[in-house]
Amino acid sequence: MKFVVFKENRLVSGEGLFLWQVLTPFEIFLFSIPWISFIILISLTERIKIRWELSGVTGNLAVMLVFLFLGLSGQRLISQDYPFARISIGAGAWLFLLASYIIIAFSVKNLRSRRLYGVTVAISGFIILVIFSLSGLLDDISIFKEYAARKGRFISELARHLVLSGMAVVFAVITGIPLGLLAFRKKLFSKPLFVFVNSVQTIPSLALFGIMIAPLAILSQRYPFLREIGIKGVGAAPAIIALTLYALLPITRNTYTSLKILDPSVIESASGMGMSRAQLLFNIEIPLSLPVVLAGVRISLVQAIGNTAVAALIGAGGFGVFIFQGLGQAVPDLILLGTLPVIALAVSADKLFELIIRVATPRGMHIRENAVQSY
Task: Calculate the dihedral angle through the C-alpha atoms of 39, 40, 45, 49, rounding to the nearest 10 degrees.
Answer: -50
Neighbours of 112 (CB within 10 A): 8
Neighbours of 189 (CB within 10 A): 13
For CA atoms 122, 123, 124, 125, the dihedral sign is positive
Percent of the chain with pLDDT over 70: 92
d(CA 107, CA 93) in angstroms, rounded, equals 21
Domain boundaries 151-372, corresponding CATH code: 1.10.3720.10
Are the beta carbons of 5 and 16 closer than 8 angstroms?
yes
List the domain boundaries for the chain.
Answer: 4-141, 151-372
Are the beta carbons of 289 and 255 closer than 8 angstroms?
yes
Average pLDDT, stretch 157-177? 95
* Burial of residue 311 (number of CB atoms within 10 Å: 0-12, 13-18, 19+): buried
**Per-residue pLDDT, 80:** 64
Where is average pLDDT lowest: 24-33, 39-48, 204-213, 223-232? 39-48
SS3 of 96, please?
Answer: helix
> Each residue of 65-119: pLDDT tens digit?
999 988 888 888 887 667 778 888 888 889 999 998 888 888 887 776 667 777 7
φ and ψ at 355, to 5 degrees? -70, -45
Average pLDDT, stretch 178-188? 88
Are the beta carbons of 311 and 160 closer than 8 angstroms?
no
Strand 86-89: give its sheet, edge to edge.
15-17, 4-7, 86-89
Where is average pLDDT lowest: 10-14, 25-29, 44-48, 256-260? 44-48
Of 168, 172, 167, 162, nearest in space to 243 by CA: 168
Are the beta carbons of 23 and 69 closer than 8 angstroms?
yes
**Per-residue pLDDT, 363:** 67
d(CA 8, CA 18) in angstroms, rounded, equals 18
Element (H, E) at 250: helix 236-260
- Tell whether the model's pLDDT for residue 319 goes beyond 70: yes
**Per-residue pLDDT, 263:** 73
> Each residue of 28-39: pLDDT tens digit?
898 898 888 888
Q: Model pTM?
A: 0.84
DSSP labels, 184-224 = HH-HHHHHHHHHHHHHHHHS-HHHHHHHHHHHHHHHHHH-H
Average pLDDT, stretch 334-346? 93
d(CA 299, CA 346) in angstroms, rounded, equals 10
DSSP symbol at 282: I
Which positions ≥6 away from 218 have C-beta within 8 Å? Answer: none
Provide the mean pLDDT of the chain: 84
DSSP symbol at 86: E
Query: pLDDT higher for 178 or 278?
Result: 178
Query: pLDDT higher for 134 or 279?
Result: 134
φ and ψ at 10, to 5 degrees? -75, -15
**Per-residue pLDDT, 153:** 92
Per-residue pLDDT band at 46 (split at 50, 70, 90): low
Most confident of 2-6, 41-45, 106-110, 302-306: 302-306
d(CA 56, CA 117) in angstroms, rounded, equals 9
The percent helix, strand, coil of the chain (3-state, each to 5) is: 80, 5, 20
Are the beta carbons of 209 and 311 closer than 8 angstroms?
yes
d(CA 348, CA 356) in angstroms, rounded, equals 12
DSSP labels, 6-62 = EESSSSS--EEE-HHHHS-HHHHHHHHHHHHHHHHHHHH---HHHHHHHHHHHHHHH
d(CA 375, CA 295) in angstroms, rounded, equals 11
Strand positions, DSSP E, the chain: 4-7, 15-17, 86-89
SS3 of 369, please?
Answer: helix
